[in-house]
């Protein structure tokens, strides 16, 4: 009798256990929200969606009995559009995870909503380091890079190279301010000086009057605290006004592979930049990138898109291990499991939600050095994972004990 009772008890307990750990609605819904047609469409955009789908396929969700659905939305770089989509996705479409989200003003709004609704957010393209600082949340992870890592990588390298006087040309929104602030701190720490700053409307088109001010300051380095076509246009127009010929140099604080392509090697050569991924760095990244290229019009992936792949993989593995897609619990699980994939190699997620991995300092090749399309970078240095990102205790994140 006792045996039978305990057998029944055990059976009931197992059933109850599995009833708790469940996928909501039986489907894991991942919403890729980014700029599908605007200035950030090339570096993330539809490419991020391709990367997410690749991750779902490589993870082999179908054969593991997990249903995964991917939704896509264009937030047009506007915080109000992004918040509306996020709310609707969480409330009506029962999305479990929002992924990617470039444009810091939007990602901060979506971060807030994700926390309120207790879902999950993984940021690949969004840059503001506040996501693992004062805006950190148990519902989100910042995957690919942030303004601190860029400022640290590029800022340090440029100042040590002799670029000790700076003038900032900054995009007037959260990301720009954040990048400017962090790079300024690095410059000052290394004994450099900031001779001036000017803010341009986001997105901008004509930088001539700002460039003149930069020229007048006579700073050795003009730091571009902006991204995408703002960066490329500033560099192009700078060429018109003879900035480089006059002896000044541009430092692109956030430059993607697609920006270098848009500029062309003759204008971009010698540019120093920090990225988390380059398609041609290792045989594994090359193989993966070529698969990506076949699905994305032959274009090579940027670090943002690679980040989406890597993050989605790790997320799905965490859901598999946990047997649940409950937002904060999956995020917690992702922090407890080390990550490893062919794109980013080994990495881990810290308590503050920061995913740490090696960062790389690249220099753009001269046209003569490039052996083919997309062959743009040479590696100048590897910044090890534990040094590349802001120390946990410095961020002001309440989750860090």
Partner 1 sequence: MTEIFGVPTQALFGQLLIGLINGSFYALLSLGLAVIFGLLNIINFTHGAQYMMGAFAAWFLLNKLGLGYWWALLIAPVMVGITGVIIERLMLARLYKLDHLYGLLLTFGLALIIQGLFRHEFGSSGQPYAIPKLLEGGTNLGFMVLPNYRAWVVVFSLAVCLATWFVIEKTRLGSTLRAATENPELVRAFGINVPRMITLTYGFGVGLAALAGVMAAPIYNVSPQMGSNLIIVVFAVVVIGGMGSIMGSIVTGFALGLIEGLTKVFYPEASNTVIFIIMAIVLMIRPAGLFGTAK
Partner 2 sequence: MKHQRIAFALMVAFFALAPALIYPLFLMKVMCFALFACAFNLLIGYGGLLSFGHAMFFGFAGYIAAHAAKVWGFNPEFAILAAVASATLLGVGAGLIAIRRQGIYFAMITLALAQMVYFFCVQAPFTGGEDGIQAVPRGMLFGLIDLRQVFNMYVLVFAIFLGGFLLIFRVIHSPFGQVLKAIRENEPRAVSLGYDTDRYKLLAFVLSAALAGLAGGTKALVFQHASLTEVHWSMSGEVVLMTLVGGLGTVFGPVVGALVIVAMANYLAQLGAWVTVVQGIIFVICVLTFRRGGVGELAHWIKKPL
Choose, by CB under 8 A, the member of 74, 275, 325, 326 that binds partner 2.
74
**Which runs of E-coded beta strand occur in 152-256?**
165-171, 193-200, 221-225, 249-252
Task: Find the shortest distance in angstroms from Cβ 234 to partner 1.
Answer: 11
The set of residues, in sequence order, having a beta carbon less than 8 Å from that of 164 and lying 6+ positions away, is 187, 190, 191, 192, 193, 220, 221
* Of 74 and 363, CB closest to partner 2: 74
- Is residue 85 near partner 2 by the rule CB under 8 A? yes
* Of 112 and 215, CB closest to partner 2: 112
Q: What is the helix (H) or strand (E) element at residue 355, kind and residue range? A: strand 355-356
In the list partner 2, partner 1, none, the entry touching 83 (Cβ below 5 to 8 angstroms by class) is partner 2
CB of 362 within 8 A of CB of 260? no
Q: Tell me the angle at which helices 208-217 and 228-240 cross, rounded to the nearest 10 degrees.
A: 70
* Of 92 and 368, CB closest to partner 2: 92
Choose, by CB under 8 A, the member of 4, 92, 371, 401 that binds partner 2.
92
Task: Find the shortest distance in angstroms from Cβ 253 to partner 2.
Answer: 18
Task: Find the shortest distance in angstroms from Cβ 41 to partner 2.
Answer: 10
In the list partner 2, partner 1, none, the entry touching 213 (Cβ below 5 to 8 angstroms by class) is partner 1
CA distance 44 to 257: 11
- Residues in region 192-211 near partner 2 by CB under 8 A: 201-202
CB of 179 within 8 A of CB of 147? yes
Q: List Cα–Cα distances, 43 to 37, 153, 165, in angstroms.
A: 11, 20, 30
Q: Read off the DSSP letter of residue 132.
A: G
CA distance 136 to 129: 9
**Sites of contact with partner 1 (CB under 8 A):** 37-39, 41-42, 198, 201, 205-206, 208-209, 212-213, 215-216, 228-229, 233, 237, 240-242, 245-246, 262
In the list partner 2, partner 1, none, the entry touching 252 (Cβ below 5 to 8 angstroms by class) is none
In the list partner 2, partner 1, none, the entry touching 240 (Cβ below 5 to 8 angstroms by class) is partner 1
CB of 373 within 8 A of CB of 349? no
- Residues in region 21-50 near partner 2 by CB under 8 A: 36-37
Task: For Cα atoms 97, 142, 259, give the angle at the middle one, nearest 5 degrees.
Answer: 105
CA distance 279 to 302: 8
- Is residue 172 near partner 2 by the rule CB under 8 A? yes
Chain contacts with partner 2 (rule: CB under 8 A): 36-37, 72-74, 78-81, 83-85, 87-88, 91-92, 104-105, 108-109, 112, 172-174, 201-202
């Amino acid at each position: 009798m006792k045996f039978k009772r305990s057998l029944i008890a055990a059976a009931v307990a197992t059933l109850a256990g599995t009833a708790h750990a469940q996928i909501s609605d039986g489907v894991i819904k991942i919403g890729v929200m980014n700029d599908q047609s605007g200035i950030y469409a090339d570096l993330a955009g539809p490419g991020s969606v391709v990367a997410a789908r690749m991750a779902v396929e490589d993870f082999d969700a179908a054969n593991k009995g997990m249903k995964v659905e991917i939704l896509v939305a264009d937030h047009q770089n506007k915080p109000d559009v992004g918040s509306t989509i996020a709310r609707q996705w969480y409330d009506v479409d029962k999305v479990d995870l929002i992924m990617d989200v470039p444009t810091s003003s939007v990602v901060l709004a979506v971060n807030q909503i994700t926390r309120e609704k207790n879902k999950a957010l993984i940021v690949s393209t969004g840059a503001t380091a506040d996501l693992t600082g004062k805006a950190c949340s148990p519902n989100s992870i910042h995957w690919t890079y942030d303004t601190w890592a860029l400022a640290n990588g590029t800022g340090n390298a440029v100042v040590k190279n002799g670029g000790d006087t700076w003038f900032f040309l900054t995009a007037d929104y959260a990301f720009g301010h954040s990048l400017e602030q962090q790079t300024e701190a690095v410059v000052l720490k290394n004994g450099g000086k900031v001779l001036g700053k000017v803010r341009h409307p986001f997105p901008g088109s004509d930088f001539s009057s700002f460039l003149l001010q930069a020229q007048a300051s006579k700073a050795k380095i003009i730091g571009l605290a902006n991204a995408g076509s703002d960066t490329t246009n500033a560099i192009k127009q700078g060429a018109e006004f003879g900035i480089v010929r006059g002896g000044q140099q541009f430092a692109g604080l956030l430059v993607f592979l697609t920006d270098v392509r848009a500029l062309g090697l003759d204008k971009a050569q010698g540019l120093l930049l920090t990225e988390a991924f380059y398609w041609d760095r290792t045989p594994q990244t090359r193989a993966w990138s070529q698969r990506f290229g076949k699905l994305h019009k032959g274009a090579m992936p940027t670090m943002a898109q690679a980040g989406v792949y890597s993050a989605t993989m790790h997320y799905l593995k965490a859901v598999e291990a946990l047997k649940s897609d409950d937002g904060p619990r999956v995020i917690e699980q992702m922090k407890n499991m080390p990550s490893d994939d062919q794109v980013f190699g080994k990495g881990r997620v810290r308590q503050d939600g920061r995913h740490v991995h090696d960062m790389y300092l690249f220099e753009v090749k001269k046209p003569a050095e490039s052996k083919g399309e997309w062959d743009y970078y040479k590696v100048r240095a590897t910044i090890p994972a534990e040094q590349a990102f802001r120390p946990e205790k410095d961020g002001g994140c309440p989750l860090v004990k």
